[in-house]
Amino acid sequence: MNQEELIRFGTGRQLAEIEYLSELLSYQSLFKEIHSVLALIDQVQQTVQAINSGYLPDQLPQLSVTDVMISDVQQYVLNKFPNRPEKGNPLWIQMAESLEKIDFLVRHLRDALIEYFSMYGFVSTPFVRDLSYYTAGYPVLELMAGHGYLSAGLRACQPKQTIIATDNKSWRHQPGITLHQPVTKVKKMSALSALATYGDSVAVILMSWAPDTSADDWYVLQAIRKQYRNKKFLVIGEKNGATNSKDFWEDAKLRPLLNTHHQSFDFINEQVFEVE
C-alpha cells in the first residue's frame, strides 16, 4: 500500500532521528542480497516512517525471522564460498548473530511505537477503514482514547461523522511516559463521565486498550448494560492478557468482530470484540 492510499491522521511527530529504526536499518547492507530479510526490515521501516509522517500504516503480518530467511542466508553463504569454509563460517556466524538481533528488534516493534508515538494498540489503515464502514456514519463515542489514533482515523475517513474521543489522561502521571499531545482532539474526562454525558447521543461505544491496572472497564460494562443496552459496544484488547481487568474478561460476553485486518503482529494477541 503506497502512501497515497494510507489514512492521514495528522502531522505526525516528524522525528529526524529514531534510534530504533537506525539500529534496524544498520543491517541492510549485510543482507542486501537476501530479499526475504530485506522485505522484513522494509515492512517495519515503512510502518515507523508512516506514523512519524502522520499516516496510519498498512496492516502487518507476524513479525519475526522465519526458517525461510535462515535458509536463504545459509544458501547465500554456501553459494558465496562453496569450497572455502575458512571464509564461509565466519560470514555465517556474523549473519546468524545479526539475524538474532533483527528478530529481537522486529518482535519489539510495539515497544518502539509506544516509546516514540504513544501508540499502544496497533492502528492500521485497513482496520480503520473496516471500522469506519462498520459504524456506517453513526455517532461514535471512544472511551479511554489515549492519544486518539482510532478517532483520528475515523474522522479522516468520514469528516462529517460525529466522533467523540475521551480520556481521563491519567497516563500523563506514569513514569517514563512521553508527554507529546494527542494526534486529534480528545476531551479530558473519565469513561463513566463520558458515558453519562454522551451515551444517549451515540450509536457506537468504542474502548481500546483499557488498562489492566483498574476495574474501570468493568464499571463501564455495567453502566452500558444498565443504561445503554441498545448501543453497540466494541472493545479492542488482548483477552486475559495485556489489556483490561480480570473482572471485565470474566463478565463480558464476547463476539469476535472486524479481525480480517486486525491481527496480531507480535506476542500480544489483540482482537476486536463486540461485547454484551
Residue 177 confidence (pLDDT) above 90: no
Which pLDDT score, from 0 to 100, does residue 169 have? 81
Q: What is the mean pLDDT of residues 9-38?
A: 97
Q: What is the pLDDT of residue 166?
A: 97
The pLDDT tens digits of the residues spanning 87-141 come to 999 999 999 999 999 999 999 999 999 999 999 999 999 999 999 999 999 999 9
Q: What is the mean pLDDT of residues 166-186?
A: 73
3-state secondary structure the chain: CCHHHCCECCCCCCCCCCHHHHHHHCCCCCCCCCHHHHHHHHHHHHHHHHHHCCECCCCCCCCCCCHHHHHHHHHHHHHHCCCCHHHHHHHHHHHHHHHHHHHHHHHCHHHHHHHHHCCCCCCCHHHHHHHHHHHCCCCEEEECCCCCHHHHHHHHHCCCCCEEEEECCHHHHCCCCCCCCCCCCCEECCHHHHHHHHHHHCCEEEEECCCCCCCHHHHHHHHHHHHCCCCEEEEEECCCCCCCCHHHHHHCCEEECCCCCCCCCCCCCCEEEEEC
Tell me which amino acid residue 14 is. Q
For residue 271, the model assigns a pLDDT of: 96
In angstroms, the CA 208 to CA 97 distance is: 37
Full strand arrangement of the beta sheet holding 187-188: 187-188, 163-167, 140-143, 204-208, 232-237, 271-275, 254-256
List, for residues 158-168, the tens digit of each pLDDT value: 999 999 999 98
Q: What is the reported pLDDT for 4?
A: 86
Residue 272 falls in which region: left (phi positive, over 0), alpha (psi -120 to 50) or beta: beta
User: CA–CA distance from 84 to each of 60, 72, 89, 221 (Å)?
Assistant: 39, 19, 9, 66
Mean pLDDT (whole number) for 186-212: 97
- The reported pLDDT for the residue numbered 195 is 97
Q: Lowest-confidence range among 120-129, 145-154, 165-174?
A: 165-174
pLDDT tens digits along 206-229? 999 999 999 999 999 999 999 999
What residues have CB less than 8 Å from 16, skipping those under 6 apart? none
Joined together, the cell numbers standing for residue 55 give: 499516516
- In this predicted structure, what is the pLDDT of residue 171? 55
**pTM exceeds 0.75:** yes
Kindly report, residue by residue over 230-241, the tens digit of the pLDDT: 999 999 999 999
Taken in order of first residue, the domains within the chain and their CATH numbers are 3-117 (no CATH), 125-275 (3.40.50.150)
- pLDDT class for 23, splitting at 50, 70, 90? very high
Does residue 172 have a pLDDT over 60? no
Cβ atoms of 158 and 129 within 8 Å: the answer is: no
pLDDT of residue 181: 84
What does the pLDDT average to over 249-262? 95
Integer Cα distance of 194 and 197 in angstroms: 5
Q: What is the pLDDT of residues 47-101, one digit of tens each?
A: 999 999 999 999 999 999 999 999 999 999 999 999 899 999 999 999 999 999 9
Q: With cut-offs at 50, 70 and 90, classify the pLDDT of residue 189.
A: very high
Q: Is the pLDDT of residue 178 over 90?
A: no
Give percent of the chain with pLDDT exceeding 70. Answer: 96
